[in-house]
Amino acid sequence: MRLNAALFWKALKLKIVPDSTCEAETAVGSKAAKATAAARITLTALHRSVYGSTMVLIDNKAMHDVITKPGQTARTNHFERATMVIKWLFMHLVVKTYVILTKYMVADIFTKALPPETFLRLRDRLMNIKPTTTVQDSDGNKVTLHGKAVRLWAKLIDAARM
């Protein structure tokens, strides 16, 4: 994203059959790193300065270790080609990986079934709406408001205070 506009977007299945989640995440991370490098080159060609490393948010600690630690191990030897792109970009400070807890990873809303409270929190963040609000109606019953109703309620409260 740049100024709330998508520069690149894509949804493809992997061309490999991964043996572990680390291998799958690394393959996808390499594709994302390639797109990031292309976006940075495009912005530089348009005379838009790009400062610092681009964040790559991941929820797989094993992938983070594979990328950030130098060399390879017996476990990573078989998928080293997939890791080389993102490792090279990490070493040259083009990307920087950050491990995010699964309960805060917004992308998980698209990839797996989540508990209701996690789903609602991530949905609210994704849709840029405030969390749910509980109010009492005229009969004294509790009513839960979501999304647009929360914003309307806040406006009504602000108008009543004036």
The pLDDT tens digits for 70-98 are 877 766 666 666 678 888 899 899 999 99
User: What are the tokens at 86?
Assistant: 């993102």
Quote the CA–CA distance of 118 and 106 in Å, as a whole number: 10
**What's the token pair of residue 79?**
């998928």
In 3D, which of 54, 47, 60, 16 has the Cα closest to residue 32? Answer: 54
Supply the pLDDT for residue 1.
61
- Residue 48 in this model has a pLDDT that exceeds 80: yes
Q: What pLDDT shows up at residue 154?
A: 76
Model-level pTM? Answer: 0.64
Question: What pLDDT score was predicted for residue 94?
Answer: 92
Other C-beta atoms lying within 10 Å of the C-beta of residue 157? 10
Average pLDDT, the chain: 81
d(CA 26, CA 63): 6
Distance in angstroms (rounded) separating the CA atoms of residues 44 and 6: 17
Can you read off the two tokens belonging to residue 143? 């009513």
- Residue whose C-alpha is closest to residue 122's, from 142, 143, 141, 101: 101
**Which range has highest mean pLDDT (6-10, 41-45, 155-159)?**
41-45
pLDDT for residue 96: 92
d(CA 19, CA 2): 34
Percent of the chain with pLDDT over 90: 7
Q: What is the pLDDT of residues 31-45, one digit of tens each?
A: 888 888 988 898 889
pLDDT over 80 at 162, yes or no = no
Tokens of 62: 């094993």
Q: How many CB atoms lie within 10 A of CB 56?
A: 20
**CB contact at 8 A, 143 and 137:** yes
